[in-house]
Amino acid sequence: MTHQTSQLFAQLGISHDPRFTTTGLPPDRVHACKSAVDGSTIATIALDDAASYDATIARSHAAFLNWREVPAPQRGLLVRAIGDEFRTHKDALGRLLSLEVGKILQEGWGEVQETIDIADFAVGLSRQLYGLTMPSERESHRLMEQWHPLGPIGVISAFNFPNAVWAWNSMLAAVCGDTTVWKPSLLAPLTAIASNAIAQRVSERMGYKDLFTLVIGSDANVGERMVADRRLPLISATGSCRMGKRVGEVVANRLGRCLLELGGNNAAIVDQHADLALAIPAIVFGAAGTAGQRCTTTRRLIVHESIADDVCTRLVSAYKQVHARIGNPLEDGTLVGPLINARSGEGFDHAIAHAKTQGGQVLIGGSRVAVKGCENGIYVQPTIIRAPKSNQLAISREETFAPILYVFTFKSLDEAIAMNNGVDQGLSSSIFTDSMRHAELFLSGSGSDCGIANVNAGTSGAEIGGAFGGEKDTGGGRESGSDSWKAYMRRQTNTVHFGKTLKLAQGIRFD
């Protein structure tokens, strides 16, 4: 482990995680953890095999049998203490996250804040796991429903939100009486080890073992086992559409539940009534923030034809300022850090080459950037590509996890909404407008078909209080706020008869 990594772990109060002992293990059980900042190896960790995977699920299951007996408000107290521990360690954890996946520090801290926020939300929820009561059609009968703990929850997360997406799931799961088994991305296992250790040490202090467990390994060794494992009644998976289809298929085959949060291809509409002083910075953050590596990143811009040239000119000038601040994400003032790895860099290059052959015009960007001291990191310029007049640009139908924004034009709002909805994915969407009518049409049942639709706010950066997720190829799952907690519990309908003579429903007589 490098000095920097071990210092961060020390600041987080984690000195000897068994994951860091790799001596004597066969090479396929040892994983080199890279930093996206400069491509260097920052730690080596032990991976799970079939036996250690099995033992972890068994421990999680045993912990569940105990945890589900604890009253929900008491479970909330534990989550409150976990939230406080994340508050205390926000700085170091945000730094570790930035070092590992290359987010700028502001976003590293922002992500930990999201974890703190969902913990707070979950604490409140621990006293609000409400069921309904319904009027019974029968005299002297009570009809009601209640929500019970579900079991150990399998969480599969992606590299780009290596802390918060786990928290969305595990903090809710904990108040719902469930345990969590987390398989983080192999591109971000250090943030996972740290986050899980923080949650777990608080739990142990309060007398509960194995509420939060980790399984780390390849899809073949760990991922496939998890999705097929009947001991995990719910698999909550974040990642590509391809991965989600596989998870969905295997989990459906065992009649399990899954919660899928897959790719996005999010558009922002800018109509002729938009306040551009507000729209431009929102679009720049949505498209270039996190180097275009959020599932909520703005990838398509749909602009009214009367203002398209003006919007492009303003965006290009804003992007020039952003280009001057591409660099080491750990340094103050950097706005755009690296892509996660070389494969992402290739994805960026391919998308740009395709866009050009398909008639797209690069307005700004399109190249790799060399960052001093980070020569092996993959840095690229946030890029704007204007689609040809036909508005046809096949590459824009795919989600490329890089900062590329495709610009299209429209004449009527109907046309803009059809373009917004005209891709396979359905995660997030925005309209920038001061027209109440346009805003309401966009939010209406015949407006945006996405799970998230915003007015005068960008496609990314959702708050935890709302349900998060999307339709169509995005997978249909909802995580985080609102009533997403229901996915982590099982619903039971109860009929209680307090009369003396049997009464059958539907008026049936069986004398």
Active-site positions? 261, 295
Pairwise CA distance, residues 191 & 184, whole Å: 9
Cβ-based nearer residue to ligand UN1, 171 or 312: 171
CB of 274 to ligand UN1, least distance (A): 21
Residues that bind ligand UN1 (CB under 6 A): 114, 160-161, 165, 238, 294-296, 460-462
Q: Which residue is nearest to ligand UN1 (CB)?
A: 462
**Could you tell me the smallest distance in angstroms from the CB atom of residue 67 to ligand UN1?**
27
What string of H, E and C letters represents the secondary structure of 55-116? HHHHHHHHHHHHHCCCCHHHHHHHHHHHHHHHHHCHHHHHHHHHHHHCCCHHHHHHHHHHHH
CB of 165 or CB of 291, closer to ligand UN1: 165
Residue linked to tokens 């015009």: 361
Of 195 and 203, CB closest to ligand UN1: 195
In the complex, minimum distance from the CB of residue 101 to ligand UN1, in angstroms, rounded to a whole number: 12
Nearer to ligand UN1 by C-beta: 210 or 479? 479
Q: How far is the CB of 476 from ligand UN1 (least distance, A)?
A: 15
Instruction: List the beta strands (DSSP E) in 424-504.
Output: 425-426, 428-432, 452-455, 467-468, 471-472, 479-480, 489-497
Between CA 359 and CA 293 the distance in angstroms is 25
Helix (H) or strand (E) holding 404: strand 404-410
Calculate Rg over the CA atoms of the chain.
24
User: CB-wise, 169 or 383, nearer to ligand UN1?
Assistant: 169
Q: Which is nearer to ligand UN1, 154 or 366 (CB)?
A: 154
d(CA 268, CA 384): 14
DSSP-derived 3-state class of residue 446: coil
CB of 405: closest distance to ligand UN1 in angstroms? Answer: 16
Q: How far is the CB of 458 from ligand UN1 (least distance, A)?
A: 9
Q: 394, 342 in Cβ contact below 8 A? A: no
8 A C-beta contact, residue 262 and residue 243 = yes
List C-alpha distances in Å: 23 to 29, 31, 34, 44, 56. 10, 12, 19, 10, 21
